[in-house]
């Protein structure tokens, strides 16, 4: 296993210096699933707080833009794109978040943050209907660009 770059030689956390790296186009897509009962799914269009899916999509996009404020050692990145797609399924809502940039470091954390916050927003807007809603399976689907190359789950 390679050495973790977010720690210095004495084991203290540090922000990685990416100043010497070339700008390259980078993308990432991340996944989350919000498991809920059929009754909650059926009630989504009539939610008194508004459309949970529309609000979750916007929340995820905003979260991608604020990732460096939430994850201590992340770099602030000029995102060229961020989006969240939400799909209703028989057992819940599938969340696919994407982010892209041309920068010196990748956008995996931005995509993961977008997926996570979109899922949390769905929970927040539906929790009054059922406290047993679960947020599951948050993971990176794929990423492109950078020194480590492409990854696809």
Which residues lie below 8 Å from residue 3, measured CB to CB, with a gap of 6+?
Answer: none
Average pLDDT over residues 123-140: 96
Is 81 contained in some domain? yes
List the CATH number of the domain containing 140: 3.30.70.640
**Domain limits at 53?**
28-146
Which pLDDT value is given to residue 81? 98
Q: Which of the residues are catalytic? A: 124
Q: How many domains does the chain have?
A: 1
For β-strands 92-103 and 79-89, DSSP reports them as antiparallel
For residue 36, count CB atoms less than 10 angstroms from its CB and return exposed for 0-12, middle for 13-18, buried for 19 or more.
buried
Residue 17: pLDDT band with limits 50, 70, 90: low
Which pLDDT value is given to residue 6? 64
Does the structure show a pLDDT above 60 at 14? yes
Is the entire prediction scored with pTM above 0.85? yes
Is 139 contained in some domain? yes
Tens-place pLDDT, residues 35-87: 999 999 999 988 888 899 999 999 999 999 999 999 988 899 999 999 999 99
- Average confidence score pLDDT of the chain: 91
């Amino acid at each position: 296993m390679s050495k973790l770059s977010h720690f210095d030689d004495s084991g203290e956390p540090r922000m990685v210096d990416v100043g010497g790296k070339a700008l390259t186009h980078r993308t990432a897509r991340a996944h989350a699933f919000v498991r809920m009962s059929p009754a909650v799914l059926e009630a989504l269009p009539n939610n008194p707080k508004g459309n949970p899916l529309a609000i979750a999509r916007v929340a995820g996009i905003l979260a991608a833009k604020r990732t460096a404020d939430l994850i201590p050692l992340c770099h602030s990145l000029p995102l060229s794109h961020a989006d969240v797609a939400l799909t209703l399924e028989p057992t819940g809502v599938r969340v696919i978040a994407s982010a892209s940039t041309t920068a010196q470091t990748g956008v995996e954390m931005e995509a993961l943050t977008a997926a996570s916050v979109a899922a949390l927003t769905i929970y927040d807007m539906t929790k009054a209907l059922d406290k047993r809603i679960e947020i599951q399976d948050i993971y990176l689907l794929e990423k492109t660009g950078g020194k480590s190359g492409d990854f696809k789950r």
